[in-house]
Structure 1
Amino acid sequence: MADRESQRKGWLEHVLGREYQIVPLAGDASFRRYFRVEDSQRHYVLMDAPPPHEDVSLFLAVRSWFVRADIRVSKMFAEDLSQGFLLMEDFGDLTWAGCCETKSDLEPLFKDGLRQLHLLQASAPEMDLPFFDIARMRRECDLYLDWYLPKVAGLEPTKDQRQQFHNALADTVTIIAALPQVPVHLDYHSRNLMLPAGELPLGMIDYQDAVMGPVSYDLASLLYDCYQDYPEPQRRVWSRYFFDHLPHSLAAGFSGFDDWHQKLRMTALQRHIKAIGIFARLAHRDGKKQFLTEIPLTRKHLLEELQVLGMHQDQFPLLYTEPSNS
């Protein structure tokens, strides 16, 4: 830690000179750390992504693609791939999530968020993106089996239980994988959408894990956000708005809005299974116990999706398993 701090200090002195101030910002679900840096000219955000745990080259490549697609991302002031340091524009502190906390009018945010999501889906990445395929979805669902069940629910699933779990979800992940494919942010939610200087357009962050995946994925992340609980009628309004603005080539993959919205909820279901597993892993492997507080709302979403999709407890018993302390 001390060595990394010395590296960080030396790099900032090289880039900015000795007159600057630095304070830590909240980290994320990775090895990356963030700092707010201020000199006599402006405020910056420093991403500290220590090799070999993190590789900023992918972040930079995706950022360049987003810039070409006219998506709002941070300006870059300095970068050092070998040491894993990026000095970027400071978007400030106001996130979409913050607007939810203050009960601000979310309509302008939804309109802009969906507008930029359409831009992303229409863009042409100049790189080979990983595919969000069945194998990947199965691995993500394994996080639920490996971390949530034993560490939070107190249940160590047997080999037969694990197989039954995947067999029961096979039709769902097959349907999701067969949806029209587009570029996907993969973490498009209220904590990763910011209002630079308190203004629209929204600024995107945490986009380095972009993939090619289902057209429904990013909207499912936003409307069925692990950190928010929007009323279902409001979700349906924005789901229809998004569907009505899809190009024909993508909308043709659905028989109509009801079919689209059902597939959207299937997508949200798979994402919530993964998220619950990730929250448990962050808490019990990485010592980030605060993520345990995100599980109850995510489970609420999951149980609602199971009910709406007709996925009953006798067929999906492990998905109905409650935390052991509840």
Structure 2
Amino acid sequence: MIPPVAAPAFLASAGWGDARILPLAGDASFRRYFRVIDNERQAVLMDAPPPHEDPRPFLAVADHLIGQGFAAPTVYARDLDHGLVLLEDFGDIRVREYLEAAPHEEYSVYERAVSLLADLHTRPPADLRPYDRAEYQREAGLLTEWFCPAVDLRVDADAYRAAWDAVLPIAEADTAPKVTVLRDYHAENIMLIPDHERSRGLGLLDFQDALVGHPAYDLVSLLQDARRDVPAEIEAAMIAHYKALAKPDGQFDAAYAVLGAQRNAKIVGIFTRLWKRDGKPRYLSFLPRMWDLLERDLGHPALAPVADWFASNIPAEKRHFALAEHDPA
């Protein structure tokens, strides 16, 4: 985690020339983050190196969220040529670690996070491209592209696409309003910022891939979290809480299951790719949870065509394969 070469000059031009630069955790992309400390001030330096990353989508969505009263990080300075952005620092209290230390607050924290979503969904969506069929299919296809070869399975990819084509209209044609979909709304991307009055004290991160789509998607992202177990009773209670606030009509429960299955299939593929292509075997540890969530979603009657494909193409023992046999470490 060595700071980028251009960082000192960038920080100096932004008035932070004497600041110390300390590494923060990265994520599953090429982006890296550093904490910048200058006496009593501190900020976060995002390194989104071109051509692999482009910070402009993040900046556009941040402006949109801030304009609607939500706590996205304020941007202090930017250098798009070098992919550097200096951001407001929301501190270190992520929802995931906070709930590990204070599990008795799980209900109340998730209730706040769901209330934030319901609020966001009452606002006009950002000027973003739609979450359309091509995107849904591309993402779902990551499972057959990466997971199946990794476990030595040859599957019927055409039938897989056809199965998704049979169920995706449930979400696409639902009468729920089209909303800003952050796409990675979960416990590692929500910060507790108790000193802020903005947006229920919840800070939003990692929304650069936002699109306009169905409101159930981010609810699934939050409640079927790839990185922590959300108790089934919390999931059910929070779905009910969202419905009480947003009052969705149409086939909301079916759309929730369809988008849950689509998202979880995508993540199985992404985490396998992170292992096989990017040399990050730690993501294998999340796959059992992802398969449990995916199989639960496939149990909804609306997913019958996709569930039938999985039953015919991916045996149970391949879904829950022995991680040690595949981990090169």
What is the CA deviation profile of residues 100-143 of structure 1, one whole-angstrom value per residue up to 9, with x for unaligned ones? 3222402332232122212322222452x121122111111110
Mapped partners of 2:104, 2:188: distance in 1: 15
Whether the 8 Å CA contact 2:226–2:286 is kept in 1: the answer is yes
The offset of 1:261, in angstroms, is: 2.7
Asked if 1:168 is matched to 2:199, the reply is: no
Provide the identity percentage: 33
Number of equivalenced pairs: 312
The offset of 1:215, in angstroms, is: 1.7
Residue aligning to 2:326: none
Q: Quick one: which amino acid aligns to residue 190 of structure 1? A: A
Whether the 8 Å CA contact 2:126–2:180 is kept in 1: the answer is no
**1:279/1:141 Cα in 2 relative to 1: closer, same or farther (>3 Å)?**
same
Asked if 1:277 is matched to 2:272, the reply is: no
Asked if 1:216 is matched to 2:216, the reply is: yes
Q: Quick one: which amino acid aligns to residue 153 of structure 2? A: L
Whether the 8 Å CA contact 2:180–2:210 is kept in 1: the answer is yes
Mapped partners of 2:16, 2:240: distance in 1: 52
Residue aligning to 1:116: 116
The offset of 1:10, in angstroms, is: 2.4
Residue aligning to 2:23: 24
What is the CA deviation profile of residues 37-68 of structure 1, one whole-angstrom value per residue up to 9, with x for unaligned ones? 11113111110011122111211111111011
**1:21/1:265 Cα in 2 relative to 1: closer, same or farther (>3 Å)?**
same
Asked if 1:54 is matched to 2:53, the reply is: yes
**1:144/1:70 Cα in 2 relative to 1: closer, same or farther (>3 Å)?**
same
Residue aligning to 1:146: 145
The offset of 1:146, in angstroms, is: 0.8
The offset of 1:11, in angstroms, is: 1.6
What is the CA deviation profile of residues 195-236 of structure 1, one whole-angstrom value per residue up to 9, with x for unaligned ones? 125875110001111111112111011111112222222211
Residue aligning to 1:76: 75
**1:306/1:286 Cα in 2 relative to 1: closer, same or farther (>3 Å)?**
same
Whether the 8 Å CA contact 1:121–1:182 is kept in 2: the answer is yes
Q: Classify the secondary structure of the residue corresponding to 1:86.
A: strand
Q: Classify the secondary structure of the residue corresponding to 2:105.
A: coil
5+ long unaligned stretches in structure 1: 255-259
**1:314/1:185 Cα in 2 relative to 1: closer, same or farther (>3 Å)?**
closer
Whether the 8 Å CA contact 1:34–1:48 is kept in 2: the answer is yes
Asked if 1:289 is matched to 2:288, the reply is: no
- With structure 2 as the length reference, what TM-score do the two structures score? 0.87
- With structure 1 as the length reference, what TM-score do the two structures score? 0.88
Q: Quick one: which amino acid aligns to residue 106 of structure 2? A: L
Pairing of 1:301-316 with structure 2 (within 5 A): 301-309=293-301, 311=304, 314-316=308-310
Residue aligning to 2:38: 39
Mapped partners of 2:45, 2:138: distance in 1: 32
Q: Classify the secondary structure of the residue corresponding to 1:66.
A: helix
Whether the 8 Å CA contact 1:92–1:197 is kept in 2: the answer is no
Whether the 8 Å CA contact 2:42–2:89 is kept in 1: the answer is yes
What RMSD in Å do the two structures reach over aligned CA positions?
2.2
Whether the 8 Å CA contact 2:216–2:256 is kept in 1: the answer is yes
Q: Quick one: which amino acid aligns to residue 158 of structure 2? A: Q
5+ long unaligned stretches in structure 2: 324-329
Mapped partners of 1:297, 1:171: distance in 2: 26
Mapped partners of 1:126, 1:303: distance in 2: 33
Residue aligning to 1:257: none
Q: Classify the secondary structure of the residue corresponding to 1:295.
A: helix
The offset of 1:316, in angstroms, is: 2.1
Whether the 8 Å CA contact 2:220–2:256 is kept in 1: the answer is yes
Structure 1 range deviating more: 316-325 or 298-307: 316-325
Pairing of 1:98-137 with structure 2 (within 5 A): 98-102=97-101, 103-125=103-125, 127=127, 129-137=128-136
Structure 1 range deviating more: 5-14 or 200-209: 5-14
Whether the 8 Å CA contact 2:126–2:212 is kept in 1: the answer is no
Q: Quick one: which amino acid aligns to residue 299 of structure 1? A: W
Q: Classify the secondary structure of the residue corresponding to 1:23.
A: strand
Whether the 8 Å CA contact 2:194–2:201 is kept in 1: the answer is no
Whether the 8 Å CA contact 1:66–1:73 is kept in 2: the answer is yes
The offset of 1:279, in angstroms, is: 0.7
Whether the 8 Å CA contact 2:14–2:77 is kept in 1: the answer is yes
